[in-house]
Every structure is written in C-alpha cells, then in structure tokens.
Structure 1
Amino acid sequence: MSQSDLSPLPEADHHCDVLVVGGGINGAGIARDLAGRGWRVLLCEQDDLASHTSSASTKLIHGGLRYLEHGAFGLVRKALMERERLLRSAPHIMHPLSFVLPHDPRTRPAWMIRLGLWCYDHLAPRDFLSGSRAVDLSQSPWGQPLHRQWRQGFVYTDGWVDDARLVLLCALDAAEQGAHILPRTRCTQLQPYGGGWRATLERHHAFTHLPTRTLTVQARAVVNAAGPWAEQLLRGTMGVVGSAAGGARAASRGAHLRLVKGSHIVVPRLFEHDHAYLFQGEDRRVVFAIPYERAFTLIGTTDVDHPGDPGVVSVSDEEVRYLCAAVGRYLRRPVSPDEVVWRYAGVRPLLDDATGAAAAVTRDYRLETHTQPAPWLTVWGGKLTTFRVLAEQAADRVGTLLGDPRARWTTEAFLPGGLLQAGSDTAMIPASPVAQLRAFQARLRQRHPWMDLGLARRWSQAYGSRIDLLLDGVRSRADLGSEVAPDLYEAELFYLRRHEWAQTADDVLWRRSKLGLHYSPAQRQAVADWLAAQGSG
C-alpha cells in the first residue's frame, strides 16, 4: 500500500465512479456510454469540447477505402459496420455522401480499384447506402469539372458528419443521463487514494480576468482519453512511471502514440454538383475535395509527423501548396493558395505501429486497462467513425475493473436531436436519413411559418429535434431577440451558452457552427463582443 493510501486527505469536492479526462470524441463517447449504464461520471476537458483533433478532421463517416491497401481489413470492416448505425443515430448532423474517384492508371490499375471497391461494398451489410459502380466521366456531370484526360472513374458512398457537433451531442447525452461535463477544466494531478484516484482539477474561464477555481474529485476509476496528451497524462499527471504498472510504454507492451498532423484548407466552391472527389496523388496519397457549407469546398488532408506540442499546430504554406497542386492535377479550374479562406490542422494521436510513412500508420485503437496502483483505462489511437464501438468496449472494460459489468445500450440509440420522426413509433421511421431530415424541415416550417428556408435548414441540421429548446416561447422572429450577426439571434446564443457550454466566439462560430466562414471580421467581432458582455456580467 502506498503512502498516499495511508495519509488522510481532506474530503473531496466531488465523488464519482469514473473520471474521464479528455473532451474529444473518445472521451465524450465513453462518458456517454458509462452514464447510460448508470455510473456516476465526471468528464473534464482542458479547453472547449472538441477543441483539438475532434474538430479538425476531414469530417467523414467512412470505412477508410485506402486502408484496404495496407491490409487493414479488420479496421475497415469495423468502421463499415458503424457507418449506417451512426447515420441513423443523428441524421441532423450526418448524411450520406457519394465520392467520385477518377482512375489514374499510373498509380493503381483498374482491377485493383474494382477489387478494393468490391471488398468495401461487401465487408459489412448496407441498408440504404448505395454500392460502388464504374462511371464514364466523359459523359457524366461529375466529369465536367475535370481535365479531359480523366475519362474513367468510379463512384462509391460513405458519410459526412459535423465532427465538433458529434462530440457535443455525446457530451449532451452524457449530461442528460447524469454525468458532470466540465469544459475548460484541466486535470493537474492524479494520485491513488483509498483504492481509487484523487484528482486535482483547475477550472478556468474563457475570460481570463475571472478567477480560476480548484476542486478535488474522488473517483473509483480513471479513463485517460486525452488524445494527443494521453502519454503525457499517463507519465506525468498520473505518475504511472515507476509504479506497479511499469511505465506507459512497458505497461502497454510497446504501445505508444505517433502524433501526425493532418491539415485542411477551405476555398470558394470549385464545382456545382453534390458529390465529393477522392483524388489519387502521384505520391500515392489521396486527397478529398468535399462540398462544404454550401458556398465552399473542403480539401484535405496531409499526413505530417508532429514532434512538438500537440496544442500548438498550424497549416504550413508548403501543405497549402501541396493540397492546391493535388486538386489542380484533376480540376480544370486551378486552385491558388491566395483563394484559401480558412485553414485548419489537427494532431491525430495514432497508435504507433513502427510504420515508416505517416500516411500508413494504423487508424485502429487499443484499450489498455490496469488495476494497479488503482483502476485505470487508457485509450490509444482511434478514428472518428469507430468512436461508438470504442466507447462501448471501454465501458465494458471499466465495468470489469469496478467488478460490476453492465449491459450495453448504444447500438440502436439516437443521439440528442436525432429522433426526427413525429410521435414515438420508431418502427415507422424512413430508412433514409436524408428523407427523415427533409420531412422534419417541412414540419418545422409548418409549425413556425415565420421561419425562412435558410434558417430552418441551418437550425434543423444543427439541433434536430432539440430545436424545441431553442424555440421555447418563440412565436415570431421578433421573439428571437436582437440579430447579433446575420441570422444569428440572441435566442440561439442564449441557448448555446445555457445548454452547450459555449463561452467564446470561437466556440460558437467555429465549433458549434461554421458561421465564421460566412461572416466578415466585423460580424465575427460583434459575436465576440456580445459573448464577452454576457460572460463578464
């Protein structure tokens, strides 16, 4: 027994069964699953929810077609099994998305592409996503934006997701089932105590003139879902090195993280149709060009090792030039770095498998559990599409650690706002998420005839059936309060502050929404000023 188990400490400010450290997709997903099983859960995140990796993805729900080339059939099948399940769970923030893959015989022969797509179609069952097919691009509208040389191609279907809102919905679901969600709360110390863990948390406000608050938490188990900071938390804050666990890497039997930066750029819309493109580069990497926010095209991603602080990341000019050139190789309309209206990068905490090229590092995950010096679980790696099954397996492991396994529940569950069907008869819900959303939008405008189509679309795609919370007491546009920025009213800002933990303009304009793309600097500043006035009040 360690000295910390013998020395009495003051009563903790909060007691819980599980402390989850990390407010990205894995941490929020695990907190949701645990709370739904009846565990007392507290989640802390050092910044805003989804501030880092989980809001900096390519925003796809996909199996990972290119991973087949690396032999990752198990990972691809696991992700494909999740695709339609996720699309059904939150049709307001996710939708099917078809991809056009022009064939370049210099990089991969056509038979290899056909074989890969056949495997992609058949590794998991599909209910509403269409299978792949060959297409004559010289006779197709999808070939119109391309250089004449790209005459043959393939089309397949995956899904698109608002990644930051997916994290938020998991946190909302956890909170509605009793979990405590603490954004902007850093875990500064973890020590074993009384058979569990004593944590020191520092809560800070987005507005730095407000005081920091320190609180202590007594937890029976800890989940380390800190993403790029997982090793740092394990070795430093938890002090596992030298303990009975034998150190982070030794305890993990060699598992540790390889931090890889993925960068994206957004430019004015490059094509008019609603399909995305998957382009094969001459270096055999792939680059996506995706319709984004109605008026833009999202281009990404790169794979660059990131040896520095995972909290300090940016898109280099070299990466911008690379992405522009990769797209320009296929599209008639050249893309210049000067056209980039937004660039973002995230550090992906990949499970290091000693692969040489960053692009080939596995996107799979590993869950590591130990009972000494007290029960803990660490998440290594992972990808957006597999978050639910990762969380389910993690909750199983935590239940075993606590000696009380509890039943799984998320397989057919909806995320907050995702049940768009009128009434409670879920058996009558249309199979297509797109059909569900369109029907919901029509009902929304019937109930609120003052609402124009643009606002109805944005709100339904952000909040789904939770729109009733935002519109509580609203009978006309005048009831929404002042229009702080175009189509952004005080009623929505109050909702985001009260229900979605938003404090700053970045929280609202770049994570809870992407309105920042559509606003001028002056309009973005107006939102910042409004929130600052509320936060200081």
Structure 2
Amino acid sequence: MAATPYDEAVPLESDCELLVVGGGINGAGIARDAAGRGLSVLLCEQHDLAAHTSSASTKLIHGGLRYLEYYEFRLVRKALAEREVLLRSAPHIIWPLSFVMPHARGQRPAWLIRAGLFLYDHLARRELLPASHGIDLRKHVAGQPLKPEFRRGFVYADGWVDDARLVVLNAIDAKEHGARIHTRTRCTALLRDGQYWRATLQHGDGRQSTVRARAVVNAAGPWTSDFLQQAAPGNHRQHVRLIKGSHIVVKRLFAHDHAYIFQHHDGRIVFAIPYEHDFTLIGTTDLDYHGDSARVEIDAAEIAYLCALSSEYFSQPIVPADVVWTYAGLRPLVEEAAASQEDAKAVTRDYRFELDQEGHGPPLLSIFGGKITTFRKLAEEALDLLAPLLGNKHGAWTENACLPGGDLFGSEPSNRSVREFGQFVLALQRQYGWLPAALVARYARAYGSRTHVLLAGRSSVPEMGEEIAASLYAAEVDYLQRHEWAVSADDILWRRSKLGLHLPPETAARLESWLQDHPYKNT
C-alpha cells in the first residue's frame, strides 16, 4: 500500500476536545460542524473515507416519497428542507433530477398518488425544484423506453448526489477548520480516564498512538453497536438493524435525462437512474443482513430481482448478463422493539442519539440510523447537544455555508449556483481551453471551484504530467493524494471518481503500480 497521507506526523500522544470515530457521512459531517464551531477535532476511520455505507447509497438527496406511506411526515419534511440547503451548498456534486412514475392497473389509484405528490410538494419550502405533474407517456420522451401499456405517469423532482464525494468534501472542510483527519486508522480501545476518554489508535502503517479526548462521537455506521458495547459495556436503549441495499449498473437504457421510480406489487420501489453518461443505475433491495459487515456483496437473487422488476416496465428486457457493475452496502438503521418484526422497507430512516455520561464522566454520543439527505441536520443536532457539555457557545453555522468547491458565484450558497451551473462549466472550459472540454466538465462536476486549485500553475497538457490512464493525469492523482486522502487505486477509481466504470479492467493494477513507483510525499 502507498504511504498514508496524514495531515501531519502522528505524535505518540495528543489531546483533542472531540474524537470522532467513523469516516462515513455522519462522522465527516459531525467533524466539519464541530471544527467550524472552534472545537479541536480528530476523526479516525479504519478504512478509506466513505468506504462502506456512504458510497453504496442510491445517490439521492430526497425527502423520501415512499416514507409518506408510513406516516413519517416529520422525517420527510426535514429531508425536503435539507434537500434545498444541500443543493445550494454543493451544486457541483448535487443537482436536480426529475423522476417519472409510470402508473399501471393494480397500483395505488391515481388520485391517491396525486394527493401524495401534492403533499410532497408542499411539506417544506421549495425554491429550486418544479412542482409535480401528470404526463401522457404516449407523448412524453420518458414514455419511449417503456412498454406500451404504460400510458399515464407522474413527474416529480428530487436531487442527485455523488455520495462518496459528499463525504470527502465534509472531511476537507473539517480539515480546513482545523480538524485532524486520519484514514486507515482504527480505534482499538476506548477507556474513561477521569474526565477524559483515552483512545488507542492503530494506524495503517503499523504505528500506534494515544489520544485523550473530552468527548467521543461513535459514528461507526454498521459497527456502532459493537463499538458502543466495547467502550461502555451494558444494556443500551438503541441498537442497529443492518439492512443490505444492492444496486446494479447496466449500459444506458434511455437517452433522456429523467430517472424512473418503479413500483413492485409487494410495495417495494426501484429506481432506474441515468448514471455516468453511459450507464443506468438500478436499485435498491432491502434485506436484513447478519453477515460480516466488512464483506457485503450483492447475491444472484438480488440481481435477478432488480432485472425482473425493471423488465416489467422497460420494453428492452434486462437480464443478469447485461450487468456491468454491482455494489452493495449496509444501512445501519434504528432497531426499534416495536418494529423488530417489520419488513426491512418499513424500518424508519430517521436517526436517534444515545448519550452516555456514566457517573457524570466524559460524554460518548452514539449515532444510530439516518439517511444521507439529513446528515447535515444530524450533525448540527449532535453538536447542539455536545457543545454545551464542552463549554462551546459558537452555535450552528453549516446551513449557510458552501461545501468546498460549491462557491461558484461567491462565498455564500445561492440558487444561482444551482440554476447556472452550465454557465460555470462553459466559463471554466473557456479559461482552460488547452484541455479537452469533456475533461474540464468532469473536473467541474467533481471539484467545482476547486478545479482552479487542481490546475494552478499549469497552462498546457504536458504540464499535467503523465497520463496514467485515459483522462487521468498525474496532476489529478497528486491533487487527490494531497487534498483528499486518496491512497489506493480503488480510492481514486471508485470513490473519488467513477473512472473505474469507463476504463479497462487492467487500469486498477496499472494505477496501483504507478502509486507504488511514485510514493506520496506530504511537503
């Protein structure tokens, strides 16, 4: 493995006010919020940022239309409000997406769907997205790939997100507010020591260090219950229920830019979403999971299920042989006693906190549940709870702050950045006319205004360094190592980007060899 790009040399012992365990979206969001409030923060993640749950979502910023069926009005309202906040804060990695819901006999009546969509439109203030409406699929472009029996449909809007990059941007912002971010670093022991926690960290290169913290956040995702039991043995109110969600990717099934939401007779839904220009993403499943949390894979039955359900709608049948890539992840949802026998799809996507202050000792806050759309609100509420215990009075701040790269037309989040992203891309392509326009467009989507950092001091293609693979230059790899904690080929090809989908299979080995031959130096 290439050298781990630590922010700084790791001391054998160090202090911080807040130790965050877990580098998924909740951990990164909490570290960002806490550092911005002036707290000294250290985040440790046993693998890469977004290595598990947070890179395996359906990649939607949405209120959760189907949660209305379970009367989760508070959760949907909160998520819809956050949808607007996030669209403005990171318009390069989050953007509007229209969904088409074909209607068929035997499904919920049309009037009920219209009523649900009206409620979805009006539960929270909406400035950036259009209202829902009905369509004639025989005349609408979205009807062309569907079977002819689907004549009527509904269109509503939500948001798309590059989920793994969202985690990374939160970690970058945390670092720029003073946090220390340590990937490939596992917290192997956590003990109370008077008014402090004493944590033992095992780093990926074999080093071990000790951190003394005034408070700890357990944002370990699928490992939350295990970590809590390790740190504070005993009976706890909250537990994690692990639900596996799997996705398949096939070659592009339709030419337009709408997504689809398909209903199954068992009440489940599946999305079919334009993905990476050349592909269609289909998912997800909802299955209880009891295996190894570090080794989660789609199985043949899930692939068959997603293919069969999609084929009920699309004119072109989809078979397992069409699948070019798959991914699966665990949703660490809240296990509620009353819902322990409920079908996985009905388990709440809301979040819960458990605060442990045994004997008025240092606090341990464990995070249970949540969804990517509400991560910022979760982090804000977590810090509103913890900050007073640490004597911090800074207050919430992230609602009106851009994530790194999101400040396209000024430092404040704005509707303009969402509505005029295309103009931003065109201006960037003119400024860097010596690069292929398609490459600049990819940089704009990945890095936003930070594209200027990536390209600083360069004015020709030779100055980008070696082209390690098609459109992947040494300059970008250096940027990802220097600013985004990228270490391995998988980090670069599958989490910092999805270049792995577009490049030949042997690219990973070639890139890994290149990384070994060009060890990262933190200068």
TM-score between the two structures when normalised by the length of structure 2 = 0.95
Structure 1 counterpart of 2:26, one-letter code: N
Q: Which residues in structure 2 correspond to 1:270-281 (within 5 Å)?
A: 270-281=253-264
Match of 1:257, SS state, is strand
After superposition, the C-alpha distances for 1:181-237 in whole angstroms (9 at most, x for unaligned) are 001100000000130100000000xxxxxx41100000000000001100000002x
Asked if the contact 1:57–1:163 (Cα under 8 Å) also holds between the matched residues in 2, the reply is: yes
Unaligned regions of 5+ residues in structure 1, if any? 1-10, 205-210
The one-letter amino acid of 2:60's match is: L
The residue number in structure 2 matching 1:411 is 399
Q: CA deviation at 1:533?
A: 2.1
Q: Distance in 2 between matches of 1:141 and 1:50?
A: 36
- Shift of residue 416, structure 1, vs aligned partner: 0.3
Name the CA distance, whole Å, in 1 between partners of 2:331 and 2:226.
15
> In the alignment, what sits opposite 1:68?
68
- Does 105-114 or 480-489 show the bigger shift? 105-114
For 2:156 and 2:149, locate their aligned partners in 1 and report how far apart those are by CA, in whole Å.
21
Distance 2:365 2:415 in 1: 39
Instruction: Report what 1:108 is aligned to.
Output: 108
Distance 1:522 1:72 in 2: 46
Q: Which deviations, in whole Å up to 9, do the C-alpha atoms of 1:96-135 show, x marking residues without a partner?
A: 0000000123121112111110110000011120010011
1:528 paired to 2:512: yes
Contact 1:137 1:150 in 2 (8 A): yes
Residue identity (%): 56
Distance 2:139 2:392 in 1: 61
One-letter identity of the residue aligned with 1:311: A
Q: 1:378 to 1:143 in 2, by over 3 A?
A: same
1:345 deviates by 0.2
Matches within 5 A, 1:138-537: 138-204=138-204, 211-236=205-230, 238=231, 240-242=232-234, 247=235, 249=236, 252=237, 255-353=238-336, 354-355=338-339, 356-372=342-358, 373-421=361-409, 426=412, 430-431=415-416, 433-435=418-420, 437-535=421-519
Deviation of 1:406 after TM superposition, in Å, equals 2.6
Q: Distance in 1 between matches of 2:248 and 2:377?
A: 30
Residue type at the aligned position of 2:510: A
Assess, with a 3 A threshold, how the Cα gap between structure 1 residues 431 and 528 changes in structure 2: closer, same or farther. same
Cα distance, 1:284 vs structure 2: 1.4
Structure 2 CA distance, aligned partners of 1:86 and 1:448?
28
> What residue in structure 2 maps to residue 8 of structure 1?
none
Alpha-carbon offset, residue 401 of structure 1: 2.2
Look up the SS of the partner of 1:139 in the other structure: coil
Structure 1: distance between partners of 2:419 and 2:515: 34
Spell out, residue by residue over 1:7-40, the C-alpha distance to the aligned partner (whole angstroms, 9 max, x if none).
xxxx961100000000000000000000000000
Q: Take 1:334 and 1:90, find their aligned partners in 2: how far apart are those partners?
A: 36
Q: Matches of 1:534 and 1:262 in 2, distance apart? A: 37
Amino acid at match of 1:526: R
User: How far off its partner does 1:536 sit?
Assistant: 8.3
Supply the distance in 1 between the matched residues of 2:286 and 2:120 (Cα, whole angstroms): 23
Where does residue 208 of structure 1 map in the other structure?
Answer: none
Cα-to-partner distance string for 1:40-93 (whole Å, 9 max, x where unaligned)? 000000000000000000000000000000110110000001001100000000
CA–CA separation in structure 2 for the residues paired with 1:333 and 1:357: 31
AA in 1 matched with 2:422: R
Residue type of the alignment partner of 1:390: L
Contact 2:94–2:161 (CA under 8 A) maintained in structure 1? yes
1:524 Cα deviation after fit: 2.7
Q: Secondary structure at the match of 1:310?
A: coil
| SS at 1:108 equivalent | coil
- Specify whether residues 344 and 126 from structure 1 end up closer, same or farther in structure 2 by C-alpha distance, changes over 3 A only: same
In structure 1, how many angstroms separate the alpha carbons of the residues matched to 2:30 and 2:164?
16
Query: Higher relative contact order at CA 8 Å, sep ≥6: structure 1 or structure 2?
Result: 2
Shift of 1:444: 1.2
Distance across 1 between alignment mates of 2:417 and 2:80:
17
Greater displacement, 35-44 / 137-146? 137-146
Alignment root-mean-square deviation, CA = 1.4
Report the CA distance between 1:296 and its aligned residue. 0.0
State the match for 2:3 in structure 1: none
Question: SS at the partner of 1:495?
Answer: helix
Deviation of 1:434 (Å): 4.1
- TM-score of the superposition, structure 1-length normalised? 0.92
Are the aligned partners of 2:481 and 2:520 in contact in 1 as well (CA < 8 Å)? Answer: no
Helix, strand or coil: the match of 2:80? helix
The offset of 1:456, in angstroms, is 1.0
> Does the CA-based 8 Å contact 1:396-1:406 persist in structure 2?
no
User: What's the offset of the Cα at 1:430?
Assistant: 4.9
| Equivalent residue number for residue 85 of structure 2 | 85
One-letter amino acid matched to 1:217: V
Corresponding residue number in structure 2 for 1:27:
27
Distance in 1, Cα, partners of 2:104 & 2:192: 57
Letter in 2 for 1:331: F
For the Cα contact (< 8 Å) 1:315–1:343, is it kept in 2? yes
Once the two structures are TM-superposed, the CA of residue 432 in structure 1 deviates from its matched residue by 5.7
Q: Secondary structure at the match of 2:405?
A: coil
- 1:411-430 per-residue CA deviation (whole Å, 9 max, x = no partner) reads 11000000011x56x59x55
Cα distance in 2 between the residues matched to 1:139 and 1:274: 16
CA separation in 2, counterparts of 1:521 and 1:493? Answer: 18
Q: 2:416, 2:450 → 1: CA distance?
A: 21
Matched-pair contact (CA < 8 Å) for 2:429–2:441: no
- Rounded to whole Å, the distance in 1 between the matches of 2:509 and 2:135 is 47
Runs of 4+ in 1 over 6 A off after TM superposition: none
Task: Measure how far apart 1:455 and its partner are.
Answer: 0.5
CA contact (8 A) 1:371 1:401 kept: no
Contact 2:37-2:392 at 8 Å conserved across structures: no
Match of 2:4 in 1: none
Name the aligned partner's letter for residue 476 of structure 1: S
Structure 1, 446-455 or 339-348: larger mean CA deviation: 446-455
d(CA) in 1 for partners of 2:362 and 2:176?
Answer: 28
Q: 1:430 to 1:20 in 2, by over 3 A?
A: closer
- Superposed displacement of residue 529, structure 1: 1.3
Q: Please list the CA deviations of residues 458-490 of structure 1 after superposition, one character each: whole Å capped at 9, or x if unmatched.
A: 000000111122112111111001100000000
